[in-house]
């Protein structure tokens, strides 16, 4: 690769334009009906004060943690926090000691399913975030959750993979590039957060 590639502002601008143009195509192709359906499951969990668990690997683990923060804190109004209804939400990506113990002793495929065996109850909601939709530990976590009567939604990429066939509802970013998938997944998180900010400000506060 030539030095000029690093030094050319025009090439950097061209690359940025190409990336954002393609990203916009995936955003424009997103099914808003799928988004609305997934939001519906969160609304139900919110109204019924059910526990929400979020799982994901790699970049999706970071999205899971980010989403738990957004739903736990950022939906609350500046005034009236004490009376506002709150999400009972946690990301199962955040307990590193528990995850690594499970991975070391039982196998990485069990890091979510074993946590969920301790925690998930009938009527709870599990949000499974996955680029491929095929991660074994996510699939096992979903299967355990459904066997215990929990509802499950997927925020997925590719064609949805195995998860699209077993979750109750999903929104799929139809790309095979993880960067674009994870970008749009974060936008979906912020869209959902914004929706609940409006609910809390207009109804709950």
pLDDT digits (tens, 9 = 90+) for 91-146: 999 999 999 999 999 999 999 999 999 999 999 999 999 999 999 999 999 999 99
> Would you tell me the crossing angle of helices 59-69 and 178-199 to the nearest 10 degrees?
10
Taking the chain, what is the end-to-end CA distance rounded to the nearest angstrom?
Answer: 57
CA within 13 Å, CB half, 17? 6
Do 14 and 43 have their domain in common?
no
Q: How far is CA 148 from CA 121, 152, 178, 185, in A?
A: 6, 11, 31, 27
Domain CATH code at residue 104: 3.40.50.10490
Do 160 and 200 have their domain in common?
yes
Place of tokens 């491929």: 132
Do 15 and 76 have their domain in common?
no
Contact 140, 115 (CB under 8 A): no
Nearest CA-CA partner of 40 in 158, 130, 171, 148:
171
Do 133 and 91 have their domain in common?
yes
Contact 154, 165 (CB under 8 A): no
Do 111 and 11 have their domain in common?
no
Q: What is the pLDDT of residues 56-80, one digit of tens each?
A: 999 999 999 999 999 999 999 887 7
Q: What is the DSSP string of 20-63?
A: HHHHHHHHHTS-HHHHHHHHHHHHHHHHTT-EEEEEE-THHHHH
187 pLDDT more than 60: yes
Do 93 and 149 have their domain in common?
yes
Q: What is the 3-state secondary structure (H, E, C) of 112-151?
A: CHHHHHHHCCCCCEEEEEECCCCCHHHHHHHHHHHHCCCE
Do 162 and 76 have their domain in common?
yes
Q: How far is CA 15 from CA 19, 29, 41, 111, 180, in A?
A: 6, 22, 38, 38, 14
Do 87 and 74 have their domain in common?
yes
Do 70 and 121 have their domain in common?
yes
4 pLDDT more than 50: yes
Do 104 and 8 have their domain in common?
no
Nearest CA-CA partner of 68 in 49, 82, 51, 85:
51
Do 18 and 37 have their domain in common?
no
Tally the domains of the chain.
2
pLDDT for the residue 5: 61
Do 9 and 82 have their domain in common?
no
Q: Note down the domain range covering 19.
A: 1-30
> Would you tell me the crossing angle of helices 9-28 and 178-199 to the nearest 10 degrees?
60
Using a pLDDT cut of 70, give the percent of the chain over it.
Answer: 95
């Amino acid at each position: 690769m030539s030095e000029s590639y690093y030094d050319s502002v025009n090439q950097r601008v061209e690359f940025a334009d190409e990336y954002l143009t393609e990203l916009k195509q995936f955003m424009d192709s997103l099914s808003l009906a799928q988004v609305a359906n997934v939001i519906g499951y969160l609304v139900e969990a919110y109204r019924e004060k059910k526990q929400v668990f979020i799982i994901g690997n790699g970049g999706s683990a970071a999205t899971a943690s980010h989403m738990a923060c957004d739903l736990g804190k950022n939906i609350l109004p500046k005034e009236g926090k004490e009376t506002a209804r709150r999400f009972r939400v946690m990301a199962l990506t955040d307990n590193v000691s528990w995850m690594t113990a499970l991975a070391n002793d039982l196998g990485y495929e069990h890091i979510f399913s074993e946590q969920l065996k301790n925690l998930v109850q009938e009527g709870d909601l599990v949000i499974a975030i996955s680029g491929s939709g095929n991660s074994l530990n996510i699939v096992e976590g979903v299967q355990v959750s459904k066997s215990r009567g929990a509802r499950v939604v997927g925020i997925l990429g590719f064609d949805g993979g195995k998860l699209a066939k077993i979750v109750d509802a999903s929104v799929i970013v139809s790309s095979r590039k993880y960067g674009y998938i994870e970008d749009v997944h974060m936008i979906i998180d912020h869209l959902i957060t914004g929706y609940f900010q409006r609910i809390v400000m207009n109804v709950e506060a």
